[in-house]
Chains A and B, each alone.
Chain A
């Protein structure tokens, strides 16, 4: 089920009530595990089998690594885990993509081969829980962590519903220790957790779905030729939409976990105030970028070898990171552009090592970063390269005679919401939400909270899925 649904409201109220009952800690963990399976099966019950396979394979793989006496055996258990996880991910997420590309390749070579029709359905959240369980075996393999002491704690780590389908991508060392001791949220944790959930749902339902999504749709999905204003407005709207959608999900997840007494890590750190792309990736989808760094970039050599190998590792990581987001070459280009940006930044930092930019230069670099990020969003949002080139052409003035697409209302929405978002990110770039909230007058918090909840209800969202569920 999605967080922004009436079903979740009732489900979560039930989970909270059950979790607060005076039961044994093991019983309460079993309750959470069952609740998490209900949360997942509410989408498509048969896919829970994949979740179980992933859970069981990695549990036994980690146990096998610990018991193995030879390094080759440890290695074999790790390979088994990686192959099983990436095999499932590859089949369900990339099977059709690979088949389509193979067919196109054959056609280009003059071989008319038509594969049988396949109707593979992508299991919700498979990319997220696959990475979470792989982190478990890889941490054990890399001797960064001990395996969980019991299967229940481990299964709950994989399945815990706040992070299960769209992150934050948890590491076992972040969550498993929290299951070892009894936890119950204090009254203030429960209240602040509810406030975070309200903030997250406001971002998702009101800003992303109600106000920004239609703007991007009108330009990206209508097949029209946009002029510069429409192309930029739609792309900026998407930049706001995807942030509010995904950061909204993460905030709701963090709030839900807090209501139950658990801590989850930040997934966003006001990314549209980033200065440069290494800064951006330390602020955007932090748990994914850190995962890719720890389990892909560093094992590929990271920056410990030659410059060429560093750049190769960087590009490989970002290209695969792009592909992780979706089985489409547009996502690969999106990742490739970010890899290119990071590489260029690395070159410039080496070239201008002693340069210390002043405040105005920092703002200029920040705005340049945001503008360049928006170029990448075009490939992320467009379903085809044709659409991407059309929108990019509009953004760079190729369609001067294009008819207007977006009404004044939509342009005002973009200016107000995305402008407000960027200003907020700059104000918050070295702060935390908690730090700011601690200094605000209680009456103001009360008013904002009441208005956010009111806006969520009157927005009447229809429970549309979070963008990242498709990944």
Chain B
């Protein structure tokens, strides 16, 4: 059975050849190339396809069952496309809203439903894990469509080092193709609400990589950060229950933070001079971006969310408040809320030192909203509730 057409001579010639099993354009120099030959091997393809489909469904079912047994639930993928969808809201008529940028603490600790109840408006969540908010702040500063309020979460080790694990998200937004937008819509509709295994932590390469491979001599044995959160449709995100309920998993998450915190600093930060220069650079970026935002009337608020234990010790040692946070506020002249300055923002116990469990995140968000409405942003923007949530 063939879809192509070949001359009998050519067919015979290629059968006689020892080195190439099928004639291609490589064997026919300087002539018009004929319609190619395309055979279908003789096999019971109907039964083969059916069997392959059954095997595929069984394997996918087993894989899904495995990850649900591990504690996973279907949620929305924290992809660049999801971020871009939220970012696009600013350019589509919601530019006067409150926008949250920052790193994972802003993403996990600020609960959008609580904020909405307290402030009367659901903010746009643009924080991205492992990533300094400065690229996003600079992008918003350059976007005249944005005229709302901006909350900038400050995780010291990311903000003042400029580290951007997901730094490609801003260029992705600007270059996103219609095909990528359609793909994200399909994924949000057909896959993400239904399958728990659809998570980067459960991807094949990630699973294979974290198996117990022998350590290569001379190479530090560093584990990648594991799944920490669950995301909803508009990127409202909270800490995964497993981190709270599973002591082993929590210990693993702490161990991974410790590896990162106790390891050698990157070459760009490995001397006090380099570190100070990097901090100065990041603060200057914030100053420049803020000047542009202010010129358009955007109100900017810096927020330092709580962390604890080993993580907080690391921040205090490498990025001490006096050399970072205090300088940032002094140089920008912007208001700031540091959790250490407010009793109602202190005393939380993040399960893996860095992020609040869901119930604490709701309490924290409510307290943060009250402080913002009382001390920072104009009261008519906030619809204060008396209840803690």
Contact = CB atoms under 8 A, between A and B. Distances in A.
A binds B: yes
Interface of A: 1-2, 5-8, 10, 41-45, 139, 144-145, 171, 173-175, 177-178, 183, 185-189, 191-192, 194-195, 206, 210-211, 214, 254, 258, 261-266, 269, 279, 281-283, 286-287, 289-291, 293-294, 298, 403-409, 411-412, 429-432, 434-435, 437-438, 442-443, 445-447, 449-451, 453-455, 457-460, 462-463
Nearest to B214: A408
Interface string B1-41: 11111000000000000111110111111111111111111
Interface stretch (B46-54, B94-102, B124-132, B321-329): B46-54
B24 to A, nearest CB: 5
6 interchain residue pairs of minimum CB distance: A450-B55, A290-B25, A42-B179, A438-B41, A263-B4, A1-B179
Contact of A445 (B33, B48, B179, B203): B48
B51 A430 contact: no
Nearest to B177: A43
What is the interface residue range for chain B against chain A? Answer: 35 or more
Contact of A254 (B38, B47, B219): B38
A177 B35 contact: yes
Contacts of A451: 55, 59
Given A5-B183, A42-B182, A454-B63, A174 B35 contact: yes
Contact of A188 (B1, B21, B187, B213): B1
B281 interface: no
9 contacts: A8-B179, A185-B3, A189-B40, A192-B41, A194-B49, A286-B26, A432-B39, A446-B51, A455-B204
B144 interface: no
B345 to A, nearest CB: 36
Interface of B: 1-5, 18-22, 24-49, 51-56, 59-60, 63, 79-80, 177-180, 182-183, 186-187, 190-191, 197-200, 202-205, 208-209, 211, 213-219
A460 B199 CA distance: 8
B4 A187 contact: no
Given A7-B183, A45-B178, A187-B45, A282 B26 contact: yes
B368 to A, nearest CB: 33
Contact of B1 (A189, A264, A408): A189
Given A454-B56, A460-B204, A282 B213 contact: no
A173 B40 contact: no
A406 B216 contact: yes
B179 A432 contact: no
B265 to A, nearest CB: 15
Most buried by A among B18, B39, B47: B39
Nearest to B14: A432
Contact of A144 (B21, B31, B43, B208): B31
A430 B1 contact: no
A450 B38 contact: no
A445 to B, nearest CB: 5
Given A6-B190, A42-B182, A432-B22, A261 B3 contact: yes
Contact of A407 (B25, B31, B36, B216): B216
A41 B217 contact: no
Nearest to A41: B178
A258 B36 CA distance: 11
A150 B60 CA distance: 48
Nearest to A264: B36
B21 A430 contact: yes
A274 to B, nearest CB: 10
Given A6-B190, A186-B1, A294 B29 contact: yes
Nearest to B183: A7
B45 A192 contact: yes
